[in-house]
Chains A and B, each alone.
Chain A
Amino acid sequence: MSLLNRVMSGTFMLFTLLASGVWANEPELSKYNLRPGVTENSQRVFDLHNEVAWIMLIVAFLVFAAILYAVIKFRKSAHPTPSKFSHSTTLEIIWTVIPMLILIYLTKPAIGLLLDMEDASKADMTVKITGIQWKWKYTYLDEDFEFVSELSTPASQYEDYARTGTEKGENYLLEVNNEVVLPVGKKVRFLMTSDDVIHSWWVPDFAVKMDAIPGFINETWTRIEKPGVYRGVCAELCGRLHGFMPIVVRAVTQSEYDQWVAQKLEEKAEAARLAAEAAAKSWSMEDLMEMGKKVYAEKCSVCHQPEGQGLASFPALAGSEIATNPDKIDEHTSIVLYGKNAMPKFGDQLTDAEIAAVVTYERNAWGNSTGDIVQPGRVGELRAGN
């Protein structure tokens, strides 16, 4: 088999494999490429990407063509006497200058686009985004409400250690319990920060990817042009469940947005009223245990595990000193409120009643039978610094 044949058949085989792998599973061709997205900047990024990709592919194929030509034309059997030349100043100048010109040509649109992407001034509204292992908190600074958004795909869909296969929904790993809602046509400024490690908030359809860094605030922005649901992910490795903290943005018209805000504010008022009521009343052990079990499953069991047995660097709670020593009830409660080492603070995610319930639960579950009851009132006192 001649070399050319070998190269051709190898290439053909590669592309056949690629094509069968791609088309067998993917109905849409766009799954190959970046997407144009739904903002002016994402469209410009998409255009620039396509332009630079084509230019680079052409450059690469010119090089490959030259190599292929040399390999065929100047193989020993066809060209037995090698020439002896070893330099040519003209040629070397040409292939230094031409790449420079191509790069200058590419740089110009890139600079303009970059300056626009980095200009978050004159925004219509601001949303603060806080990365927390492994969820996102969204604070609407203009309207003064906030909520936490986390993966809603149940573990039963992704934990398949028995290797029997599990049924998965269409938006597997790309769905959340609380969607971020934003109005279309408005310039939205995002402020990014983090409570623990570095995360990165990425929604490909907006061409927005910005790191959320603990102790610092980053700024970026978008203006969504089309209503719809847009999905993204955390792009920076942030620990165990890095692959499990997606982002879902629902872009709606201004009037729908206003309705949603009103509803959120109502929910906030209602939650405050309930929390105050719950904090004021004296709870029974059963009620605390019931609520605590629910809170524990939602907020604590990912790290401390469902039976409180702990996992790797996440300490066990079952039988632990903090959760069983009667002198350490306040310390236990404070850790839940304010966090410790790698554990985030839950004071701003949970109400006093919920914290009282989960601490009570942890002190009376999995063989921890202290009989201790923590009332919401005590949590409130600890919050106030007593």
Chain B
Amino acid sequence: MAHDHHPTGIKRWLFTTNHKDIGSMYLWFSFIMFLIGGAMALGIRTELFQPGLQFFDPNTFNSLTTLHGLIMVFGAVMPAFVGLANWLIPMQIGAPDMALPRMNNFSFWILPFAFTLLLLSLVPQLFPDGAPNFGWTFYAPLSTKYGPASTDFFIFGVHLMGISSIMGAINVIVTVFNMRAPGMTLMKMPMFVWTWVITAFLLIMVMPVLAGAVTMMLTDRHFGTSFFDAAGGGDPVMFQHIFWFFGHPEVYIMILPAFGIASHIIPTFSRKPLFGYASMVYATASIAFLSFLVWAHHMFTVGMPVAGELYFMIATMIIAVPTGVKIFNWVATMWKGSITFETPMLFALAFVILFTLGGVSGVMLAMTPVDKQYHDTYFVVAHFHYVLFPGAIFGTIAAVYYWLPKWTGNMFNETLSKIHFWLSIISVNITFFPMHFSGLAGMQRRVPDYNMMFEGFNQLSSIGAFMLGFSQLLFMYIVINCIRGGQGKATDNVWDGAEGLEFTHLPSPAPYHSFEKAPEVK
């Protein structure tokens, strides 16, 4: 590794075009955002611990829910996946680096500025009327005519995040289609690469839609247009159609790479090849395709024509079929395997189990007549946190544990990581499971206060949330400890039976320029 010429100190990180450096920056950025968004969630859970307003003015509370959602979606989950893509895709397809390294640097360095803009809205000296307070879905006209001044910072922040995501997606697509090692046909690509390519296409198609939505907001707010104002001939519901045309594929953007991660970890620790590779690829592609056709299932109470409601109900329910295929294939992968339970496998198992719970509540929500009761209640909050926390976040944590020894060359502390796992899985359920009940019993979303009948469930959720949040500091310690040497050197193969070029062809830690000479794939 004596040949790695790169600047040192701060310049290394500012000017780097190396996929591993950029991947690390994405992952650390994502973790910092995860802690900031998590702190906001703990603020929310503190206020909701008991009835009455104890800590926050309702306006501040609304800002907390808004920023918590925005930061977790755009700041924590999406950059984490881009970070993993940067680290893994070149190694998994036998390439030296990403195809467009300078753009790679640019797309990362946009993010700190985007989130600075967003977080500046919290500074009362700049914005006496407060931070964005209209929910992460920023429905018009609450966000347009009634939005605080900081909404404009939010709009430009979202624009920057969108540009960053689009560049990241282009980079993945160009890399995968041009830089695969000889012999690696599309149907031999690792599942993580497949799921990310499909995610990248989703990103390229929907991020411009989001950019369009916020631009229309901006012109409605300042330049006299009336896209979303009925008084000028516009339509507030059109905002929701545009937003969810972005928003529904977005939720798959936040889960497909995690599907890919599980498809690596489960075969490794079952010592058995992935069951139904081809059907996994086709299932992922059909989920992505269907995600464009179901957006209005988020809008069953806006007064759509009944034919529209029927269509969106049936189309949504169809998504359960390819999703089910994926879950059954993971179970079949374990079947007659020879399973061990290292930490990545524990998180992958928790991912499959808890994602299944989030999936079945998704089928319930798809059914229009009952959704009219569930809509905008804590039942929905429970549902999407079950697919996001144990789905996207546990998926990311599993990936970090699985590939960390390959990245650093060191093994992490197994005992501590298992404690982290058990704390996380217990507290994630204490936090989010009671929300199913409070939602069904009638507690609506996005309220800082509630009737005493919901107190028990809310107290449980709050206790769980604090456990869950602080457990993640243990994760940070384990990762830093591993980078600094951990529990000794990792072998090149790291895990008994790990497949993939990064484990079979590269030493641990992986060299700075992954493959200087392309490997032969048979």
Contacts and interface: CB of A to CB of B under 8 A. Distances in A.
A218 B270 contact: no
Residue among B129, B377, B441 having the largest count of chain A Cβ atoms under 10 Å: B441
B455 interface: yes
A304 to B, nearest CB: 13
Contact of B376 (A59, A81, A174, A200): A200
Interface in B313-344: 313-314, 317-318, 320-321, 324-325, 327-329, 331-332, 334-341
B495 interface: no
Contact of B367 (A48, A196, A216): A48
Interface residues of A, number: 111
A14 B139 contact: no
Interface in A168-190: 168, 171-174
Nearest to B277: A86
B51 A168 contact: yes
B220 interface: no
Nearest to A170: B452
Contacts of B430: 14, 17-18
A56 B363 contact: yes
Contacts of A218: 302-303
A214 B370 contact: no
A84 to B, nearest CB: 7
B514 interface: no
B65 to A, nearest CB: 8
A86 B370 contact: no
Contacts of A198: 139, 141-142, 236
B447 interface: yes
Interface in A19-72: 21-22, 24-26, 30-35, 44-45, 48-49, 52-53, 56-57, 59-60, 63-64, 66-67, 70-71
Interface string A295-320: 00000000000000001110000000
Contacts of A215: 229-231, 235-236
Contacts of A192: 303
Nearest to A67: B331
B328 A95 contact: yes
B186 interface: no
B232 to A, nearest CB: 9
Given A59-B360, A63-B331, A118-B309, A214 B377 contact: no
Contacts of B459: 21
Contacts of B159: none
B507 to A, nearest CB: 26
A172 B301 contact: no
B457 interface: yes
A115 B349 CA distance: 41
A interface SS class: mixed
Contacts of B125: none
Nearest to B229: A215
Contacts of B275: 85-88
A209 B433 contact: no
B33 to A, nearest CB: 23
B446 A49 contact: no
A82 B448 CA distance: 53
Given A81-B338, A312-B128, A45 B369 contact: yes
B301 A210 contact: yes
A53 B329 CA distance: 24
B370 A48 contact: yes
Given A74-B336, A96-B325, A110-B368, A31 B453 contact: yes
Contacts of A3: 341
A10 interface: yes
B444 interface: yes
Given A21-B457, A107-B314, A213-B302, A158 B321 contact: no
B340 A76 contact: yes
A234 interface: yes
Nearest to B430: A17
Contact of A21 (B236, B306, B456): B456
A236 B376 contact: yes
A114 B313 contact: yes
Contacts of A312: 59, 128-130, 148
Interface stretch (B20-28, B351-359, B471-479): B351-359
4 smallest CB-CB distances across A and B, nearest first, come from A215-B230, A243-B447, A218-B303, A56-B360
Interface of B: 51-55, 57-59, 62, 128-130, 133-135, 139, 141-142, 145-146, 148-149, 229-231, 235-237, 270-279, 301-303, 306, 309-310, 313-314, 317-318, 320-321, 324-325, 327-329, 331-332, 334-341, 349, 352-353, 356-357, 360-361, 363-364, 367-370, 372-373, 375-377, 422, 425-426, 429-430, 433-434, 437, 440-442, 444-453, 455-457, 459-460
30 contacts: A6-B422, A13-B426, A14-B426, A25-B453, A25-B456, A32-B437, A60-B360, A64-B353, A67-B349, A70-B339, A74-B335, A75-B338, A79-B336, A85-B336, A86-B277, A92-B276, A92-B279, A107-B314, A115-B306, A160-B52, A168-B452, A213-B230, A213-B237, A214-B236, A234-B444, A237-B446, A242-B58, A242-B446, A312-B129, A313-B129
Given A63-B328, A95-B324, 6 more contacts: A91-B332, A165-B52, A209-B376, A210-B301, A237-B135, A242-B58
